[in-house]
């Protein structure tokens, strides 16, 4: 049974369709990624799943139970790390955790024990008595992660968990998320970090303008939309037409991407050899999820 199942989920803000009939299922124990440009609808989708906001239309089921009917019971299973920090500025770091634990009816001593453990985990033990305003941006993010684990959640819902973290902290969080996955914790992860999605996620949905454009394993997405290796060709303005013509005459799948032309679904090494005589500046390279992202969502900024 799917841990989270959403069906034709829709959210309108006046005339704007922020989430547009999205259907997907998140399986037990998987890390499911949501990728998409700013404004794609990721956070809006997560807000509906975590019962922060009501859908305009469509259904959400958690372990077969209708979220509308059992919001409290279902929310108790979730650990949520929101995109926007909603820590309590009046309280200390430790108090933020112990107070949060109370929402889950965790006894006082146990709340303190778990809070200290969570602070240790995210290397915040030295800050337990500090006020929130004394924390750096990355420390606040780590505290949100610590808070999200306080109820030993069966499902973790993370909206950009590593944004603003230094590389050391980012790897620490990745390692922790992997460990939790090993313990069977299901994860829904919104991210702008393509490496993060490729490293952590079993499956990834790419969202754009409220819709899911593609859904597969990172490797599956790369193979389908780009091919395992692609060829990059640097183009000067005077070469553009002739390169375009040559590639077209070979029936290749290619795109002009601001300064370079990328050739997809090709035997990149062989093609590089064949084109050697043309004195173009070119190089084959491994394709990434970022290439898929650009192919599906375009290179222009979405407003």
Ligand X SMILES: Nc1ncnc2c1ncn2[C@@H]1O[C@H](COP(=O)(O)OP(=O)(O)OP(=O)(O)O)[C@@H](O)[C@H]1O
158's CB contacts (< 8 A; 6+ apart) are 80, 81, 145, 148, 177, 187, 188, 189, 190
**Smallest distance, Å, CB 58 to ligand X?**
15
Binding residue count for ligand X, defined by CB under 6 A: 12
Among positive and negative, which fits the CA dihedral 171, 176, 182, 187?
A: negative
Q: Which of 44, 151, 187, 193 binds ligand X (CB under 6 A)?
A: 44
Q: List, edge to edge, every strand of the sheet that includes 4-13.
A: 16-26, 4-13, 57-62, 65-66
User: Measured from the CB atom, is 83 or 99 closer to Mg ion?
Assistant: 83
d(CA 161, CA 163): 6
Applying CB under 5 A, the span of 82-90, 117-125, 141-149, 166-174 interacting with Mg ion comes to 82-90
Partner that binds at residue 38, options ligand X, Mg ion, none, CB closer than 5 to 8 Å by kind = ligand X
Q: 154 in helix, strand or coil?
A: coil
Query: In the chain, which ranges are E strands?
Result: 4-13, 16-26, 31-35, 57-62, 65-66, 78-81, 155-159, 186-190, 203-208, 211-216, 229-234, 253-257, 260-264, 281-286
Residue pair 63/37 in contact by the 8 Å Cβ criterion: no
Which C-beta is closer to ligand X: that of 131 or that of 209?
209
- Which of ligand X, Mg ion, none does residue 191 bind to, with CB < 5 to 8 Å depending on kind? none
Q: Which is nearer to ligand X, 52 or 286 (CB)?
A: 52
Would you give the binding string for ligand X spanning residues 4-33, x where CB under 6 A is met?
Answer: ---------x--x-x---------------
Q: Taking CB positions, which residue lies at the least distance from Mg ion?
A: 43
Q: Does 83 bind Mg ion (CB under 5 A)?
A: yes
Compute the least distance from the CB of residue 4 to ligand X, in Å: 17
Task: Say if CB 58 and CB 9 are below 8 A apart.
Answer: yes
Contact 284, 231 (CB under 8 A): yes
Nearer to Mg ion, 7 or 83 (CB): 83
Window contacting ligand X (CB under 6 A); options: 38-46, 67-75, 171-179, 264-272: 38-46
Told to check if 43 binds Mg ion by CB under 5 A, we report yes
281-286 β-sheet, strand order: 253-257, 260-264, 229-234, 281-286
Residue 40: name its binding partner from ligand X, Mg ion, none (Cβ under 5 to 8 Å by kind).
ligand X
User: Apex CA 180: angle with CA 174 and CA 59, to 5°?
Assistant: 100
Query: Please, which residue, 1 or 84, has the CB nearer to Mg ion?
Result: 84
Each residue 58-97 as x (binds ligand X by CB under 6 A) or -, in order, gives: -------------------------x--------------
Residues near ligand X (CB under 6 A): 13, 16, 18, 36, 38-44, 83
Residues near Mg ion (CB under 5 A): 42-43, 83
């Amino acid at each position: 049974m799917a841990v989270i199942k959403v069906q034709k989920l829709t959210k309108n803000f006046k005339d704007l369709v922020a989430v547009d009939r999205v259907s997907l299922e998140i399986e037990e124990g998987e890390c499911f990624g949501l990728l998409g440009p700013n404004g794609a609808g990721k956070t809006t989708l997560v807000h509906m799943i975590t019962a922060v906001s009501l859908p305009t239309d469509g259904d959400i089921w958690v372990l077969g139970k209708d979220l509308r009917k059992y919001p409290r019971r279902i929310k108790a299973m979730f650990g949520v790390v929101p995109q926007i920090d909603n820590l309590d500025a009046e309280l200390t770091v430790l108090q933020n955790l112990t107070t949060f634990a109370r929402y889950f009816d965790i006894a006082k001593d146990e709340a303190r024990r778990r809070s200290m453990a969570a602070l240790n985990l995210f290397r915040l033990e030295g800050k337990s008595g500090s006020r929130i305003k004394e924390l750096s941006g990355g420390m606040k993010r780590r505290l949100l992660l610590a808070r999200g684990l306080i109820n030993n959640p069966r499902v973790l819902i993370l909206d950009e968990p590593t944004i603003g973290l230094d590389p050391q902290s980012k790897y620490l969080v990745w390692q922790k998320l992997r460990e939790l996955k090993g313990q069977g914790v299901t994860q829904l992860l919104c991210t702008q970090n393509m490496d993060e999605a490729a490293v952590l996620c079993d499956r990834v949905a790419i969202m754009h303008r409220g819709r899911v454009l593609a859904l597969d394993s990172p490797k599956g997405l790369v193979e389908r939309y780009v091919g395992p290796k692609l060829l990059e060709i640097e183009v000067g303005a005077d070469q553009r037409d002739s390169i375009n013509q040559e590639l077209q005459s070979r029936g290749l799948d290619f795109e002009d991407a601001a300064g370079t032309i990328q050739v997809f679904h090709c035997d990149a090494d062989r093609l590089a050899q064949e084109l050697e005589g043309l004195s173009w500046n070119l190089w084959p390279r491994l394709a990434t999820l970022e290439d898929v992202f650009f192919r599906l969502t375009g290179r222009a900024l979405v407003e």
